[in-house]
Structure 1
Amino acid sequence: MKKELYLFFTALQFFTRIPIPSWVPFDQEYLQKSRKYFPVIGLIVGFISICAYQGLRQFLNPEISIIFSMILSIWITGAFHEDGLADTFDAFGGGYTKEKILTIMKDSRIGTYGTVSLIIILGLKFKLLVSLQTIDTNYLLISIITAHTLSRFMASLLVDFLPYVQDIDKSKSKPIAITKFSSLPILFGGTIAILPFFLYQQIVLVVIIPIVLIFTGYLGHYFKKKIGGYTGDCLGATQQLTEVFIYLLLSIVWKFI
């Protein structure tokens, strides 16, 4: 149990700005094995986001409350996934060979493709959240938790099914890249990822999960085709794209339930 706490707090420290207890030691092994808790991190970030929304909407209109909720989720994660999204779009947009793509991806500066991708993804996320809010406030809150949780699980699956293609020693995702997991940790992460769906009607679970898997599989196929596998930035981009894709699906599915 103590080791599991170490793994959880290690994942919390790696993917958020949330302080962890001082008695948690840093260990490379813990960082390597903490990936199964990524969906739990999604639950936490999503829960904080909906609490912010619920609190702010007592004083502000729903749209402004959604914006501040988005800002808080970005701040909590240190824009970790948004940074990966921007780097990925810069690399794949400006690079025509594997070597060029990886070279651009290593550049910490943001370019035109990265800037445009952030504007589009954040704008689309905002509009979809507003759309979900107009449907039903509770539906919006559940959707936020669902998207944060499931998108992180989907991104983590790429680690198990694709090779890592960048210089591991120079990568911020090194602890994740060198570790492959057995089916048990994947099952644990998957169970956490689908928990929010039981707050919906069963049809949502049956429809959404396969489509999101196909979408994630396509992203993985694209990465493998272009560079032979994934990088840490690809994982961040997958999380962001999948999160927005889930909001889109939930907006569509609502019309049929």
Structure 2
Amino acid sequence: MSRFLRHFLLALQFFTRIPVTGRVAEWVGFSPAMLRASAAHFPGVGWVVGLLSAAVFYGALWLLPPLPAAPWVAALVCTIFSVLLTGAFHEDGLADLADGLGGSAQRERALDIMKDSRIGSYGAIALVLALLTKTALLALLAQMGPWLAVVALFAAHVTSRTLPLFIIRTLPHVGDTAQSKSKPLAESLSNAGLWAGLLWWALAMALVWWQRPGATWAVAVLASLLGLAWMWRLLQRRLQGFTGDGLGATQQVCEVLFYLGVCVSFSPFLSFLPFSSP
């Protein structure tokens, strides 16, 4: 249990701006091997980010006047909060990957572009579209039902941090090891680590199902899996492996598609499935 908690806190320190300092940091310790092992706790970080973001979202909806614009304001506040909480870690990966793959069809040149800290037109467009789509879908979910939006927000953060584990497990890490901030963390993942990540996810989805049973979540997870398959194929075809930026982009794609899946699940075209009402 001590090792489990230390690896979790290390993942929390790496992927969020939540401070793990002082005596706690000394107790946690650090080594490249520990950092690699902490990859299994990506979904656990999703628990923290998802719960805090959901609380901010629900709190904003509760504080705002019941006007048509309230869901949009709450969605924007929640999005800003999640970006600040994670230090835009995954959004940065999305922008860098878009710049790299959009800037050159050559693998090595694309990897070089992704190392550049400056943002280009492809990255800016990808980032703006992702944030706008995320905000719009959260606003739509809030209009469908505030509690539905809160539960979906939590589930999306956990699921979108679980699926990149399959990329780590099945593709090689590529790029310049010396300059890659993700290399110590993402170079490999054991079967035990993958199962630990899936346990985090299963517990989250059990909680979600208890709160709102229905096939809605199956559609949402399926949508995220389609996003994972697309990103896996893209990374395999263009880079012959993954980078930290690729993992961040995968998280963003899977999160957005999870929200979209929840919304689509209430479409009249799927009324024959056993969904709960929004």
TM-score surpassing 0.5? yes
> How far did residue 167 of structure 1 move?
1.5
- AA in 2 matched with 1:249: G
Per-residue CA shift, 1:39-85, capped at 9, x if unaligned? 01011101111111222233323321221111111011000000000
Cα 1:188–1:202 change in 2 (3 A) is: farther
- AA in 2 matched with 1:25: G
1:169 aligns with 2:205: no
Query: Which residue matches 2:159?
Result: 150
Query: Which residue matches 2:200?
Result: 192
Distance 2:195 2:212 in 1: 21
Distance 1:163 1:54 in 2: 40
Q: TM-score, normalised by structure 1?
A: 0.94
- AA in 2 matched with 1:150: T
Query: Which residue matches 1:6?
Result: 6
Distance 1:153 1:52 in 2: 22
- AA in 1 matched with 2:238: K
1:245 aligns with 2:261: no
Distance 1:253 1:230 in 2: 31
Cα 1:72–1:211 change in 2 (3 A) is: closer
Q: Superposition pairs for residues 107-146 of structure 1, below 5 Å?
A: 107-146=116-155
- AA in 1 matched with 2:262: L
Per-residue CA shift, 1:133-190, capped at 9, x if unaligned? 11111110011011110001111221001111111221011112322211x3222212
> How far did residue 202 of structure 1 move?
4.0
SS at match of 1:254: coil
- AA in 2 matched with 1:102: L
Contact 2:89 / 2:248 at 8 angstroms: preserved in 1?
yes
Q: TM-score, normalised by structure 2?
A: 0.88
- AA in 2 matched with 1:44: V
**Alignment equivalent of 1:224, drawn from 221, 236, 240:** 236
Distance 1:177 1:43 in 2: 20
Cα 1:114–1:99 change in 2 (3 A) is: same
Query: Which residue matches 2:221?
Result: 209
Per-residue CA shift, 1:113-148, capped at 9, x if unaligned? 111111111001111001111111111001101111
Paired positions, count: 256
My pick for the range that moved more, 51-60 or 33-42, is: 51-60
> How far did residue 219 of structure 1 move?
1.1
- AA in 2 matched with 1:3: R
Distance 2:165 2:151 in 1: 22
SS at match of 2:265: helix
